[in-house]
């Protein structure tokens, strides 16, 4: 068992060792990318990055002749500089570090450790996404209503909200069309027995059949 978790490059790096580590890195990168795409919005460029990142980190570690400190510094410098300059979320940065850790283990020759670590991490990631851990389950929705400037938005919908919603919060008010329209942004939670269509129809009767939009609460964008 101890030999299984030993480094394949302990006696020096050969062409065979490099190709073996490169193959494992690509397979682990593909596994991480596949797991990331489950039930998640993604782009092709990010998926390709996740596949190639372990191989890139592994090559850097091998090039610095086993000096892990220098390897991590170099790999981190050029692999994260792009991701820190664009919008992203915490899940993306976690998966990036997962791919880097797999590449670091492969570059050091610990292939069994890399495989075991990636398998555990991908399994945990899939289960967390599959069972929607951390997802907002409050039932709140976003409601956008457009009204003409002649209506007083402070009280015009009070009785409709009282009939159909358990909670209502006015989040934002802004003008549109040179001030001839108001756009109201609410956070609402419908009553359990409330019919959403009847609720929207009641709002349309009050706002002159202008735009009414109701949808799932959007999470606040995160920046890396």
Torsion of CA 15, 18, 22, 23, to 10 degrees: 60
CATH architecture for the domain at 141-216: 2-Layer Sandwich (3.30)
Beta-sheet strand order (sheet of 212-216): 165-176, 181-190, 141-148, 212-216
Q: Is 48 a residue whose pLDDT tops 90?
A: yes
Average pLDDT, the chain: 84
77 pLDDT tier (thresholds 50, 70, 90): low
81 pLDDT tier (thresholds 50, 70, 90): low
Domain boundaries, the chain: 15-130, 141-216
State residue 224's pLDDT score: 44
Task: Please tell me whether residue 6 adopts helix, strand or coil conformation.
Answer: coil
pLDDT tens digits, one per residue of 115-135: 999 999 999 999 988 887 766
- Across 30-63, b (16+ Cβ under 10 Å) vs e yields ebbbebbeeeeeeeeebbebbbbbbbbbbbbbbe
Instruction: Report, as an integer, the average pLDDT of 31-45.
Output: 88
């Amino acid at each position: 068992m101890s030999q299984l978790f030993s480094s394949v490059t302990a006696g020096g790096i050969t062409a065979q060792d490099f190709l073996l580590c490169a193959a494992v890195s690509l397979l682990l990168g593909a596994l991480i990318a596949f797991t990331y795409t489950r039930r998640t919005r993604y782009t092709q460029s990010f998926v390709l990055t996740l596949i190639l990142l372990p191989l890139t980190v592994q090559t850097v570690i091998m090039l610095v002749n086993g000096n892990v400190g220098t390897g991590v510094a170099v790999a981190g410098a050029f692999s994260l500089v792009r991701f820190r300059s664009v919008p992203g979320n915490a899940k993306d940065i976690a998966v990036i570090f997962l791919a880097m850790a797999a590449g670091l283990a492969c570059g050091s020759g610990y292939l069994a450790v890399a495989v075991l670590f990636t398998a555990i991490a991908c399994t945990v990631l899939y289960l967390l996404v599959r069972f929607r851990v951390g997802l907002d389950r409050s039932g709140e929705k976003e409601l956008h209503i457009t009204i003409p400037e002649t209506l007083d938005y402070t009280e015009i919908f009070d009785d409709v909200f009282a009939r159909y919603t358990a909670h209502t919060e006015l989040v934002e008010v802004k003008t549109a069309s040179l001030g001839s329209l108001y756009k109201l942004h609410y956070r609402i939670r419908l009553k359990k027995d409330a019919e959403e269509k009847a609720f929207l129809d009641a709002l349309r009767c009050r706002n002159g059949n202008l735009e009414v939009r109701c949808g799932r609460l959007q999470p606040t964008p995160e920046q890396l």
